[in-house]
Amino acid sequence: MRLASAICLSAAVLPAAVLGQSVSESDTGSRLLHPAPADIPNSGASAAIVARIVTRNFARCEVDKEPRKVLAALSSPVGSDEEALKRSVSSDCLRAGMLRMPNSIYRGALFGELYRRNQKTTANVTAAFPPVALDWTTQSDVNAPTEVRAHHFLMWMADCLYEAAPEAMRTIVLEQPDSKASAAAFTEVGAHLGVCIPADQKLSLSRAVLEGLFSEYLYRSLVPAIRPAGKVH
């Protein structure tokens, strides 16, 4: 299943109100603050966990540095968001090295950063980044690109998992990737995957993909979903 093309960035402004959980640093001898770029942590964690931490930090910097471009990207539907996502990427948000990730991972990381700020601070995040309501009244078009159909199915799967394990889903997005709470939450979610995937489907989803998927689902669920008449969450 091909989810998206990739964002590729090598390290080498729009003004924004400071929202909760932003991280900044100043130039030497200056009081001018800039969003702190992503670093590779020296935590001893696995490569997969380190990648998720770096992606989170990169998204945090992008939300602070390019808020309008991030809003434009997240307001675009999957399948039409590739150029907007690329425009939101800034090399200033990576301190050194190269970062490559599928568009779906980057999109999910941005949603995750917004959801954490909404839940952990008093900032009015949804006013600056209005969530686009999930729409369950539309069917996936069989003629749509694979990326679009895959995203529709995965969001449906996330809705199913939320009904089974809402706190575990929130923990995965809110807690640090290298925490015991996050690991336990993935175990709980995994126990429910079978009932949320049709018997004729075979999926292999990384924790990074699931975190991004849950991040988008949770942030967009901050506003009421559009559901068929008679169905409530």
- In tens digits, the chain (233 residues) has pLDDT values of 333 455 444 343 222 332 334 444 433 343 434 577 776 666 677 889 988 999 999 999 999 999 999 999 999 999 899 999 999 988 888 876 677 888 999 999 999 999 999 998 888 999 999 999 998 887 667 778 888 888 999 999 999 999 999 999 999 999 999 999 999 999 999 999 989 998 887 888 899 999 999 999 999 999 999 888 755 55
**pLDDT value at position 147?**
86
**pLDDT value at position 201?**
79
**pLDDT value at position 101?**
83
Instruction: Tell me if residue 211 falls in helix, strand or coil.
Output: helix
What's the whole-model pTM score? 0.83
Q: Is residue 226 part of a domain?
A: no
**pLDDT value at position 21?**
41
Q: Is residue 229 part of a domain?
A: no
**pLDDT value at position 230?**
56
Domain that holds residue 38: 6-220
143 is written with which tokens? 């003629």
CA dihedral 174, 65, 209, 198 (to 10 degrees): 90
Q: Torsions phi, psi of 99, nearest 5?
A: -125, 125
55 is written with which tokens? 């992606």
Q: Is residue 227 part of a domain?
A: no
Number of domains within the chain:
1
- What Cα–Cα distance (Å) separates residue 124 from each residue in 84, 120, 171, 212, 233? 24, 11, 21, 22, 25
